[in-house]
Chain A
Amino acid sequence: MSELTVIEVKRDEFKTRTELCGRSVAAAFIGTADMLATKDLERYVRALEAEVRRLAVCEVVVDMRELYFMNSHCLKLLVSWIVRAEALAPPQRCTFLFRTHRGLPWQRRTLLALTALAESIVRVEEA
């Protein structure tokens, strides 16, 4: 298996940190994903999605414990990815595990909606 190749987002207010662990990818979102971060995050999500397919990754773990806010534009990027992933046949279909912070109520509501969108591939784990 080759290495993961994505360009991390490194803005002052928002950063990503991505690691490949076997057949799982851990993507940590840190900071505030608002309008300013939308373009960078879009480029990142597209690249990560392509890498996940190329490397036949089984699970994407999105760590949102240090993500204080995500606006609807940024969330839409994840929704669109989940919808595309769900449409794939099982060998290429990856699952998503969202790690959330109990002290950030917006995460609960938003991720409930994501779970409702694709129950079979989305899980939420509250820390």
Chain B
Amino acid sequence: MAEDVELLRQKAMLLVRRERELHSLRSRHDAALALLRVTQGLARERLAPGASPAAIYGRCAQALVDELNYQCVTMLERRGGRWGVAAAVGGAPDARALAGDDVARAVAARPEGVFNDGGDEGAAPLAAALGLRRFLWYTSGADGEAPMLLAAGYDAERAPFFFAFDADDLTFFKMVGQHLDAVLGNLRLVEALAAERAALLDLSRSLDRRVRERTEELTRALRALEEKDAHITSDLERAREFQRAMLAPLPPPGELRFGAVYRPASGVGGDVYDVARVRDGVHRVFLADVTGHGIQAALRTAVLKCEYDLATAAARSPEEALARLNRALVARHPDLDLLSTACCVDLEERDGGVTARVACAAHPPPLLARGAGAEEVEASGAFLGARAEIRLRATSVPLLPGDRLLIFSDGLCEVPGFELGPAARAVGAEGRALDDALAALVARAEAAGGAAGPGDDMTIIGVERGTRERPARARA
């Protein structure tokens, strides 16, 4: 019987222990549910329109009081090294004491903990400032930009009615604090993103405006440029016409036939030529190439042509014409940079024959195409326009029936990959008329120059003697 009583007593004690464990588990389960509700509430709060840290603090504090039955919940934020009250529900913390050095030191020493009825001198300043007798506290974001302290518990009056907090309570409490931290962090991120978005929108609007303004400016500038370009093109066209007009028409064909191709590199050029009958039985061919291309060179050719017209009239030979022209350029236009090369050829019909007297001033020597061959007519001399006195050595060659004399500028003979002599022989062999032959030579030179186009002005003048021998005129 006594054994049965003892057995029953032990079973009863076991039942009580199980009952207590069950109660404890239920409490924790309730607390977990409460925590879940608090965190869900915080999540909703974060998503609510116009959510702010202050609102979230307030809602969190209220939820902790409502769901977890804390008497007082206080939330502190640290600004400028001091703690300030962000939210307080169920109690009245001493804001001045909380902002003091004692609390700052206490929290720095222990960022989180449990305080149960004194006995913890380190946390005493915090307990006094919060006005709590039994409480939990947790500090988050100590290394971050916005540290927060969350404290919850009971004052001296209510503390005796509740169990002392333990490590499990603190773990639970920390979870709430961490969740609150995450919510606030997200909120700050959302705010930062919103601010960035607003800044980007501002920037985008500003850029749009600037692009619009710049486009308008560029459109205006482009219009002005187009007008200017049209003006320049018109001027260039007139200059081209003017330069063409300077090139006198070739003499009509007789015993000698003349042809010319003039191809400036850019509308107007630095080449100029003249073919004229200077006296009875004598034609003079002149070709000059001034340094440079384009408008500047074209203006120089105008000066040079004027001076040539004056010089040639009184000159009895091509070398004299060039020497006179050179002296005039140096004496009258020393500042115009009229450095030029030139070739001057007198073609004299006399006693049934034709003689070409060739003078060159640093100019490519003319080519004499005869039958299937083509040879240079050597004549040397210095540049025109560099110094007053220059030496010119002229050469005379007979022009036989069917001969062609080609006088050209260096733009034609200095095309990379193009050799005028062989080209002239090839064209001569094709039996083309003079004009066709000259055009073919220039076309071949241009083709050799490739897609880059002519790098220099190209001019070629051809003189052809008729194929029939003419009887010598009787001398008077």
Query: Contact at B386–A79, with CB atoms within 8 Å?
Result: yes
Query: Given A71-B456, A72-B291, A76-B339, does the pair A113, B380 have CB atoms closer than 8 Å?
Result: yes
Chain A residues with CB below 8 A from B380, complex form: 112-113, 116
| Chain A neighbourhood of B292, CB < 8 A | 72-73
Residue interface mask A56-85, B partner, CB < 8 A = 1 = 000000000000010111001001100100
Number of A-B contacts defined by CB within 8 Å: 57
Q: Which residues of A contact B414 (CB under 8 A)?
A: 69, 71, 106
Pick the residue among B339, B383, B416 that contacts A69 (CB under 8 A).
B416
Interface residues of B in 139-158 (CB under 8 A from A): none
Q: With A and B bound together, what is the CA distance between A37 and B105 in angstroms?
A: 77
Q: A83 to B385, alpha carbons, bound, how many Å? A: 11
Picked from A34, A71, A116, A118, the residue with its CB within 8 Å of the CB of B362 is A116
Please measure, in the bound complex, the distance between the C-alpha atom of A71 and the C-alpha atom of B293, giving whole angstroms.
12
Q: Are A117 and B341 in contact (CB under 8 A)?
A: no
B456 near A117 with CB under 8 A, answer no
B93 adjacent to chain A (CB < 8 Å): no
Please name all residues of chain A whose beta carbon is closer than 8 Å to the beta carbon of B413 when the two chains form the complex.
106
Smallest CB separation, A73 vs chain B (Å): 6
Cβ contacts under 8 Å, A113 to chain B: 341, 361-362, 380-383
Q: Is B390 an interface residue (CB 8 A)?
A: yes
Q: Which residues of A contact B402 (CB under 8 A)?
A: none
B341 touches A72 (CB 8 A): yes
Across-interface contacts of A118 in B (CB, < 8 A): 382, 387
B381 and A116 contacting across the interface, CB-CB below 8 Å: yes
Closest to A87 in B: B387
Contact residues of B between 60 and 79, Cβ < 8 Å to A: none
Among candidates A34, A35, A80, A116, residue contacting B339 with C-beta atoms closer than 8 Å: A80
Distance (whole angstroms) from the CB of B410 to the closest CB of chain A: 7
Contacts of B455 in A (CB 8 A): 34-35, 71
Q: Could you say which of A73, A83, A106, A119 contacts B291, with CB atoms under 8 Å apart?
A: A73
Q: Residue A110 at the B interface, CB < 8 A?
A: yes
Does residue B364 face the partner (Cβ distance < 8 Å to A)? yes
Closest chain B residue to A83, Cβ basis = B386
In the complex, residue of chain A having the shortest beta-carbon distance to the beta carbon of B340: A72
Number of B residues contacting the other chain (C-beta, 8 Å)? Answer: 24
Q: Which residues of B contact A116 (CB under 8 A)?
A: 362, 380-382, 390-392
**A-contact 0/1 string along B30-43, CB 8 Å cutoff:** 00000000000000
- The digit string for B85-103, where 1 denotes a CB below 8 A from any CB of A, is 0000000000000000000
Contacts of A86 in B (CB 8 A): 387
Q: Which residues of A contact B291 (CB under 8 A)?
A: 72-73, 76
Indicate if the CB atoms of A72 and B387 lie closer than 8 Å. no
Residues of A within 8 A of B341 (CB): 72, 113
A84 to chain B minimum Cβ distance, whole angstroms, is 10
Interface check B289, CB cutoff 8 A: yes
CB of B341, distance to nearest CB on chain A (Å): 7
- A122 and chain B: residue at smallest CB distance: B382
Is B365 in the interface zone, CB < 8 Å from A? Answer: yes
Select the residue from B380, B383, B455 with max chain A CB neighbours within 10 A.
Answer: B383
Q: Which residue of B lies closest to A35 (CB)?
A: B455
Q: Is the CB of B361 within 8 A of A72?
A: no
- Could you mark each residue 364-398 of chain B with 1 if its beta carbon is under 8 Å from any beta carbon of chain A, else 0? 11000000000000001111001100111000000
B86: min CB distance to chain A, Å: 70
- Most chain A Cβ neighbours within 10 Å, of B364, B382, B455: B382
Q: How far is the CA of A114 from the CA of B362 in the complex (A)?
A: 8
Which residue in chain A gives the minimum CB-CB distance to B364? A109
Query: Complex: how many Å from CA A117 to CA B339?
Result: 12
A113–B341 CA distance with the chains assembled, in angstroms? 9
> Given the known A-B contacts A113-B381, A117-B382, are A72 and B390 also in contact in the complex, defined by CB atoms under 8 Å?
no
Q: Which residue of A lies closest to B365 (CB)?
A: A109
The residues of B that contact A69 with a CB separation of less than 8 Å are 414, 416
Residue among A76, A114, A116 having the largest count of chain B Cβ atoms under 10 Å: A116
Q: Known A35-B455, A76-B291, A80-B339; judge A117-B386 contact (CB<8 A).
A: yes
Give the nearest-CB partner of A109 in chain B: B364
How far is it, in angstroms, between the C-alpha of A34 and the C-alpha of B386 when the chains are bound?
21
Q: Which residues does chain B contribute within 8 Å of A80, judged by CB atoms?
A: 339, 386
In contact, A79 and B339 (Cβ under 8 angstroms): yes
Q: Give A80 to B383 CA distance when docked, in angstroms.
A: 11
Q: Nearest-CB distance from B358 to chain A (Å)?
A: 14
CA distance A119 to B391 in the complex (A): 10
A76 neighbours in B (Cβ, 8 Å): 291, 339
Chain A residues at the B interface, C-beta cutoff of 8 Å: 34-35, 69, 71-73, 76, 79-80, 83, 86, 106, 109-110, 112-114, 116-119
8 A-B pairs with CB atoms under 8 Å apart are A72-B292, A73-B292, A76-B339, A106-B413, A113-B362, A116-B391, A117-B390, A118-B382
Q: Which 5 pairs between the two chains have the least Cβ-Cβ distance?
A: A113-B362, A117-B382, A116-B382, A76-B291, A83-B386
Task: Given A69-B416, A117-B387, output 19 extra A-B contacts at Cβ < 8 Å.
Answer: A34-B455, A69-B414, A71-B456, A72-B289, A72-B341, A73-B291, A79-B339, A83-B386, A106-B413, A110-B362, A113-B341, A113-B362, A113-B380, A113-B381, A116-B380, A116-B390, A116-B391, A117-B383, A119-B391
